[in-house]
Each structure stands twice: as C-alpha cells, then as structure tokens.
Amino acid sequence: MEIDKKVVAQKFMEAIPHAKDLGIWIESIGEGVVEMHMKYQEKLIGDPATGVIHGGAVFSLLDTCCGAAVISHPEQKGLTATIDLRVDYMRPATPGETIRAKATCYNVTKSVAFVRAVALDANDQKPVATATGAFVAGDA
Amino acid sequence: MAPKRPESVQLIKQRRDAALADLVSSIPYIQFLGVHFDRRGDELTAVLTYRDSLIGNPGLPALHGGATAAFLEVAAVIELGWANLWRQMETGQSEANAPATSPLIKIPKTIDFTVDYLRSGLPRDAYARAKVTRSGRRYASVFVEAWQDNRTRTFAQATGHFLMPDITDAKIKV
C-alpha cells in the first residue's frame, strides 16, 4: 500500500513539466520525507556577474520538494496544493554545485499539511535556504 | 556661449527603457522563465508569457507554484531596482552624459520571500505589479501581486524583504 503511494508520487513528480524543465529529480522518498536535487545549469543563473543561481529556481525546488513530502505522508490521501510558502535565503548557492532540498511534512490536520524544508549545496553545514509552508490536506 | 539645452525627457525615457531591456535580457533565469516588462510612465508591469513548461499540475492544469513565486520575485526585484531610478529622473537628477547601454545596476538580494497562493494559476499569461512598501538604506520591503484575466482577481501575492546593494560601490549608472 505504502509502496504503491511512493511509486505514484515519484511518477507524478516526474510528470511535472516545470520540475522537468528545471532539471529536478527525486533522490529519496519516505513517509512525509523527501529529498530532491537540482543540477546547476547556466539557464538558471540569476546574477551573471557571479554565476549564482536565481532565488526563484531555489524556491521552485523547495516548493516541489515540500509538495512531494505532503503527498508521501501516510495520512495524506491524494494530491496537494501550496497554500503559502516562505523561503529564507541564507547565502548564495555556490556556482556549479547541485542544490539538494530536504523536506519534511511534520504535521497533517484534516485540511492543512505543515511542511519545512532546507536547501543545501555541497556544504552540509550552512544552508543555502530554508522554507516553511502550509499545504492543502485531503482533496486538493 | 549659449547654455546647453537640457536633454528631452522623452530621450531619457528611451534610454531608461533600453537599459531596462538590457538588464532583463542579461539575466538567464528571467529568460528561462519568460518574463518581460511593460512600462507605462512610472508604472511597471511584469508579464509572464505562458508556456506548457510552466505547468506544475498537469491534471488541472495549473501553473507551478515555484514558477509563480519566481515570477513574483523577479517583478519585486526589478521594481525595487528601478523605483529609485525613476525617482531620480523625476527630480531632475538624471545623468545626461552616461552611455545608452551600461546597466551597472546592482540587483538587491532577497532576504526572504513569502507567497500566498490564492487561486490556481491558469494556463495562460500572467501579470504582476509590485509596490515598494518601504525602502531604507539597507533593507527594503516589497509587496507584489499577480493576476491573469481580471485585475481584481489576484491569483497570488507575496511580500519580500531585500538587502539593498552597498551604496558606496553601487552608483546607479544608466
């Protein structure tokens, strides 16, 4: 049952055109816990002077990862939609490095799922960005 | 010798528009997303041109929340970078002899960005306008909202805080 859900989530995430366009893939998926990666690409550069990736691309990665964390949660039936998402940008991502996002859906009520996530590059100690959000629980 | 005639405002505005277009086209991610800007006087509207690759939910279909957020953030940052410039222009502090294309504008850095998703984004063009709520020497607060068919039906809104570029080494030149 749970395995089926994970397969469905993986298939669904891979069918998202914008995630595919950004080069996002699922690294691992558990129960309410998902890790997604996004490869460094020149088309994602937000500051041509430094080659740093645009914050919008990091936001997309975190949003996608958070949504997947909700879908993979055992108490969530079906898909979801973002109600709100806040991203704090701690530092510029190092150019050339893959961005890794790890999201945890830590609480699901009847109608709302609460999620937090972190985005890292090759440096495990200092996050690039963190996210906190509320998502639709139940039928999206 | 007769004093030099002041440059016409129309000429200055044309130069500003060219510099804005240069800035926007120099950022790969803005091109990837497909955002351009439409200026009417001091009012700037960001336009997100619809493409199938912006979809986040193929079932509905609906725009990806990340694409919507990125669109809002781009609209906020560009508004912020240019709000100061327009103010200078209106008060007559515009620099007459600067070359037509040298967008040495330092882009403000996003500290945080919070997006409210009010409706699902439909598979069509979207528009956004940002308002600089407060602009200080170091920090700025910006509110931005986006709509599609109907200006009063906002589908997403956001508030962001930005770190202004160091004024000492970022003289705005256009």
Provide the pLDDT for residue B174: 40
Q: What is the ipTM of this complex?
A: 0.92
Question: Which one of A52, A70, A80, A82 would you mutate to disrupt binding with B, by most B Cβ within 10 Å of its Cβ?
Answer: A82
Answer yes or no: do B69 and A57 touch at CB < 8 A: no
Chain B residues whose beta carbon lies within 8 Å of the beta carbon of residue A18: 53-56, 63-64, 66-67
Evaluate if residue B104 carries a pLDDT over 70: no
Answer yes or no: do A81 and B66 touch at CB < 8 A: no
Which residue on chain A is closest to B74 by alpha carbon?
A: A56
CATH code of the domain containing A85: 3.10.129.10
Q: Which of A18, A46, A81 is the closest to B66 by Cβ?
A: A18
Evaluate if residue B41 carries a pLDDT over 90: no
Sign of CA dihedral A7, A11, A16, A19: positive
Q: What is the DSSP string of chain A?
A: -HHHHHHHHHHHHHT-HHHHHHTEEEEEE-SSEEEEEE---GGGEEETTTTEEPHHHHHHHHHHHHHHHHHTSTT--S---EEEEEEEE-SPPPTTPPEEEEEEEEEE-SSEEEEEEEEE-S-SSS-SEEEEEEEE-S--
Say how far apart CA B127 and CA B93 lie, in whole Å: 31
Provide the pLDDT for residue A9: 61
Residue tagged 């975190």 (tokens): A62
DSSP structure class, residue B59: T
In a domain, B157, yes or no: yes
Structural domain of residue B23, as residue ranges?
Answer: 9-169
Chain A residues whose beta carbon lies within 8 Å of the beta carbon of residue B103: none
Provide the pLDDT for residue B11: 84
Provide the pLDDT for residue A31: 92
The pLDDT-based confidence of B168 (bands split at 50, 70, 90) is very low
Chain B residues whose beta carbon lies within 8 Å of the beta carbon of residue A17: 52-56, 58, 64
Average pLDDT of chain B, as a whole number: 85
Chain A residues whose beta carbon lies within 8 Å of the beta carbon of residue B30: 54
Evaluate if residue B100 carries a pLDDT over 50: no
Provide the pLDDT for residue A5: 57
B83: distance to nearest CA of chain A, Å?
Answer: 20
Q: What is the DSSP string of B82-138?
A: HHHHHHHHHTT---TTS-SS---PPPPEEEEEEEEE-SPPPSS-EEEEEEEEEE-SS
- Nearest Cα residue to B38 out of B128, B142, B160: B128
Average the pLDDT over B81-90 and give the result. Answer: 70
pTM over 0.80: yes
B71: distance to nearest CA of chain A, Å?
Answer: 8
Question: A66-75, B35-44, B80-89: which has the minimum mean pLDDT?
Answer: B80-89
In a domain, B60, yes or no: yes
Structural domain of residue A71, as residue ranges?
Answer: 2-136
Taking CA atoms, A119 is separated from A35, A62, B137, B164, in Å, by 10, 7, 29, 23
Answer yes or no: do B29 and A54 touch at CB < 8 A: yes
In a domain, B16, yes or no: yes
Residue tagged 């530092």 (tokens): A91
In a domain, B103, yes or no: yes
Evaluate if residue B159 carries a pLDDT over 90: yes
Q: Is B33 on the interface with A (CB under 8 A)?
A: yes
Evaluate if residue A61 carries a pLDDT over 60: yes
Average the pLDDT over A82-110 and give the result. Answer: 97
- Find the helix or strand (DSSP H, E) in which B167 lies: none
- Nearest Cα residue to B63 out of A135, A63, A7: A63
What domain count does chain B have? 1
Provide the pLDDT for residue B91: 63
Average pLDDT of chain A, as a whole number: 92
Average the pLDDT over B146-155 and give the result. Answer: 97
Evaluate if residue A88 carries a pLDDT over 60: yes
Average the pLDDT over A1-24 and give the result. Answer: 76
In a domain, B45, yes or no: yes
A3: distance to nearest CA of chain B, Å?
Answer: 22
What domain count does chain A have? 1
B28: distance to nearest CA of chain A, Å?
Answer: 5
In a domain, B91, yes or no: yes
Evaluate if residue B84 carries a pLDDT over 80: no
Angle at CA A57, nearest 5°, toward A56 and A62? 95
Residue tagged 């804005």 (tokens): B20
Average the pLDDT over A71-90 and give the result. Answer: 94
CATH code of the domain containing B137: 3.10.129.10
Q: Which two tokens stand for residue A49?
A: 């002077």
Provide the pLDDT for residue B173: 43
In a domain, B2, yes or no: no
In a domain, B37, yes or no: yes
Provide the pLDDT for residue B56: 93
Evaluate if residue B102 carries a pLDDT over 50: no
Percent of chain A having pLDDT more than 70?
91
The pLDDT-based confidence of A79 (bands split at 50, 70, 90) is confident
CA atoms within 13 Å, Cβ hemisphere of A54: 30
Question: Which one of A16, A18, A87 would you mutate to disrupt binding with B, by most B Cβ within 10 Å of its Cβ?
Answer: A18
